[in-house]
C-alpha cells in the first residue's frame, strides 16, 4: 500500500464512529487490480460497513470474515439454480459446503438465490425463472433441517420486474412473470418473513429522462415535492418513488407486509462522454444523502411505509475495471482499486459530510452533444495496444489501409496513434450495433479531434 493510501485509511479510521453501520456494501471482484480479500475486508472494517454482500460464496472471503463482526450476504450463482431446484440433495450439499463450513463464526445473514434472474429474457433465462422459487424453497428446507433460522433467503431483482412504476400507486409487476414467478415468490417471502431484495438505481430513470425528472430529485436534493394522485402521497425523491411502486405492486397481489431490502443502489463516479451525470460530485451527493436517510433513528421509511427500516447495500466497494458495457459500469466504486477513497464517505451516517465545495465540480450534468473519438488510453500498455491493433486489422472488420507506409495516417509512426485510428474506426462502425469504446480498458473517449493533415479519424456524433 502506498503512503497516500495509508494516509486516507488513517483519516477514515480516526473519523469513523466505533459502532458499525446498518449500511452494507457490495463487494464485487470483477477487476484485475483489486486488493486481496484480506485487505478488502480490512478496508470494509475501517469504513465501518455493517454488512457485506458477495456475488458468490468465495471460501477465502468467508473464512476471513469469521473474525469480523460484519454481517454477510452470500449468493447462489445463476448457473447453480437449476440443480438446486431439481434435487434436494444438491441443495443440502450447497448449504453444507457454503454455509455450514463457515457459519456461525462467519455471520451469514442473507442467502440470495441468483442475481437479477428475471431480467434474462432468453430460453435459458426462462428456465431459470421457472426454477427460481423451487430453488429458494429447497434451500430453505436445507437450512431448516440444520436448525438454522436466522438466515433470510431472497433473490435480488432489478426494477424491470415492474411494467409500470409511475406514479408509484400505479406500480404493477410485468405480466409475463406475475402469475408464474412473482406470486409464488411473494408467498414464499411472506411465509418465511424474508425481504424483497431490489436493485434500485435512480441514476438510470433520471439519465434516460432528464427532461422530466430533475437531477435534484434523483440526488435527494429536491426542494419541491411530487404528488401521486392515486394515493395522495407526496414524494421528495426518486428512490422513494421507485421503492413505493414496488410496495404498491406487491399490495395489489395481497402482500402488504413484505419488507424491502435494497440489494444494490449507488451512483457512478465516472463514465463515457455520453453518460451525463456520472461524476464524483453526484456520486458523493447521492451516497451521502442515501446514508443519511437510511441511518436515522427512528427510520424514515418511505411515504407508503413510513418508519420502517430498509437494509441497504451500496454498489460497490471498488471501481471494477473488468466489467463490460458502458464506462459507468466500471465506475460505481466507493474506493479506487488501490484502496483510497474516491470521495469521503461515512457509512455510519454520524459524521455530517457537508463539504461539497471540496469535491470536483460536476461538468457533465447535461447531455453532451457533439463529436467523440475513441483513442488509445493514456496509460495503455504498448504491447497490448499493438496486439489489439494487429487483431483488429487482421479481422477485416475495419479498414487499416490508411495506416500503410506512404498513406495518409502512417505518420506519426506510433502504436498509440495507429491504435487510436483503428479504435475510432471500429467504434464509429459498430457503435449502433452495441460496440463500445473500451477494448479491454485500452481505449478511452475524447472530444478532441485527432485528425491531422489529410488523415481523418472517423468519429461518432452524439
Ligand atoms: C440428486 O443429487 C445427488 C447428489 O448430487 C445424486 O446422487 C442423485 O442421483 C440425484 N438424484 C436425482 C433424482 O437426480
Ligand atoms: C399506469 O400504468 C399504465 C401501464 O401499466 C399506463 O398505461 C398508465 O398511463 C399509467 N397511469 C398513469 C397515471 O401514468
Ligand atoms: C417527458 O415525458 C413525456 C412522456 O414520456 C415525453 O413525451 C416528453 O418528451 C418528455 N419531456 C422531456 C422534456 O423530455
Ligand atoms: C469481425 O470480423 C470477424 C471475422 O471476420 C467476425 O467474426 C466478427 O463478428 C466481426 N465483428 C463485428 C463486430 O462485426
Half-sphere exposure of 142 toward its Cβ, with a 13 Å CA cutoff? 26
Phi-psi category of residue 81: left, alpha or beta, with phi > 0 → left and psi -120 to 50 → alpha: alpha
Domains identified in the chain and CATH numbers: 3-358 (3.20.20.80), 371-461 (no CATH)
The model's pLDDT over 267-311, given as tens digits with 9 standing for 90+, comes to 999 999 999 999 999 999 999 999 999 999 999 999 999 999 999
Burial-class residue 178 by CB neighbours within 10 Å (0-12, 13-18, 19+): middle
Nearest listed ligand to the Cα of residue 166: 2
Q: CA-to-CA distance for 202 and 119, rounded, in angstroms?
A: 18
Q: 407 CB contacts (<8 Å, ≥6 apart)?
A: 401
180 DSSP 8-state letter: I
φ, ψ at 67 (rounded to 5°): -95, 10
Q: Is this prediction's pTM over 0.85?
A: yes
Q: What is the pLDDT of residue 352?
A: 79
Cβ 430 under 6 angstroms from ligand 4: yes
Atom 6, ligand 3: residue with shortest CA distance: 212
Cβ 90 under 6 angstroms from ligand 1: yes
Contact 73, 262 (CB under 8 A): no
Q: CA-to-CA distance for 49 and 47, rounded, in angstroms?
A: 6
Atom 11, ligand 2: residue with shortest CA distance: 170
Output the CA 5–ligand 1 centroid distance in Å.
50
Grid coordinates representing 313?
447495500
**Distance set, CA 85 to CA 65, 92, 138 (Å):** 28, 11, 6
Within 329-381, strands assigned E span 371-376
Q: What is the pLDDT of residue 21?
A: 67
Which residues of the chain are under the pLDDT cut of 50?
Answer: 1-19
Residues with Cβ within 6 A of ligand 2? 163-164, 166-167, 170, 172
- 172 Cα nearest atom in ligand 2: 5
321 DSSP 8-state letter: T
Cβ 88 under 6 angstroms from ligand 1: no
Grid coordinates representing 315?
454498489
Cβ 432 under 6 angstroms from ligand 4: no
Amino acid at each position: 500500500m502506498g503512503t497516500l493510501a495509508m494516509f486516507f485509511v488513517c483519516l477514515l479510521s480516526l473519523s469513523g464512529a466505533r459502532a458499525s453501520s446498518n449500511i452494507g456494501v457490495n463487494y464485487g471482484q470483477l477487476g484485475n487490480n483489486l486488493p486481496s480479500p484480506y485487505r478488502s475486508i480490512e478496508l470494509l472494517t475501517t469504513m465501518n460497513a455493517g454488512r457485506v454482500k458477495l456475488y458468490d460464496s468465495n471460501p477465502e472471503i468467508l473464512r476471513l470474515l469469521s473474525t469480523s463482526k460484519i454481517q454477510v450476504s452470500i449468493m447462489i450463482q445463476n448457473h447453480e439454480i437449476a440443480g438446486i431446484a431439481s434435487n434436494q440433495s444438491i441443495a443440502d450439499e450447497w448449504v453444507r459446503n457454503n454455509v455450514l463450513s463457515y457459519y456461525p463464526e462467519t455471520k451469514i445473514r442473507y442467502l440470495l438465490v441468483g442475481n437479477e434472474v428475471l431480467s434474462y429474457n432468453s430460453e435459458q433465462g426462462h428456465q431459470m425463472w421457472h426454477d427460481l422459487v423451487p430453488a429458494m424453497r429447497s434451500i430453505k428446507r436445507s437450512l431448516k433441517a440444520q436448525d438454522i433460522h436466522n438466515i433470510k433467503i431472497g433473490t435480488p431483482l432489478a426494477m424491470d420486474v415492474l411494467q409500470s412504476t409511475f406514479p408509484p400507486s400505479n406500480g404493477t409487476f410485468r405480466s409475463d412473470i406475475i402469475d408464474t414467478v412473482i406470486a409464488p415468490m411473494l408467498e414464499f417471502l411472506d411465509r418465511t418473513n424474508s425481504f424483497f431484495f431490489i436493485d434500485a438505481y435512480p441514476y438510470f430513470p433520471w439519465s434516460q429522462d432528464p427532461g422530466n425528472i430533475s437531477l435534484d430529485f434523483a440526488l435527494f436534493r429536491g426542494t419541491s415535492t411530487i404528488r401521486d394522485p392515486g394515493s395522495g402521497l407526496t414524494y421528495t425523491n426518486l428512490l422513494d418513488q421507485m421503492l413505493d411502486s414496488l410496495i404498491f405492486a406487491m399490495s395489489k397481489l395481497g402482500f402488504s407486509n413484505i419488507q424491502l431490502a435494497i440489494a444494490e443502489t449507488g451512483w457512478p463516479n465516472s463514465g463515457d462522454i455520453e453518460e451525463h451525470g456520472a461524476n464524483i460530485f453526484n456520486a458523493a451527493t447521492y451516497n451521502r444523502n442515501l446514508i443519511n436517510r437510511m441511518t436515522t433513528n427512528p427510520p424514515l421509511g418511505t411515504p407508503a411505509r413510513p418508519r420502517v427500516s430498509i437494509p441497504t447495500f451500496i454498489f460497490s466497494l471498488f471501481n471494477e475495471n473488468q466489467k463490460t458495457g458502458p464506462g459507468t459500469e466500471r465506475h460505481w466504486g466507493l474506493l479506487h482499486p488501490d484502496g483510497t477513497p474516491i470521495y469521503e464517505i461515512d457509512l455510519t451516517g454520524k459524521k455530517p459530510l457537508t463539504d461539497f465545495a471540496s469535491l470536483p465540480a460536476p461538468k457533465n450534468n447535461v447531455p453532451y452533444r457533439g463529436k467523440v473519438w475513441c483513442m488509445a488510453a493514456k496509460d495503455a500498455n504498448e504491447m497490448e495496444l499493438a496486439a489489439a491493433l494487429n487483431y483488429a486489422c487482421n479481422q477485416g472488420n475495419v479498414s487499416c489501409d490508411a495506416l500503410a507506409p506512404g498513406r495518409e495516417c502512417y505518420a506519426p509512426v506510433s502504436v498509440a496513434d495507429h491504435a487510436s485510428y483503428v479504435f475510432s474506426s471500429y467504434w464509429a462502425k459498430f457503435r449502433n450495433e452495441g460496440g463500445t469504446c473500451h477494448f479491454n480498458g485500452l481505449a478511452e473517449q475524447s472530444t478532441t479531434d485527432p485528425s491531422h493533415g489529410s488523415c481523418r479519424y472517423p468519429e461518432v456524433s452524439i
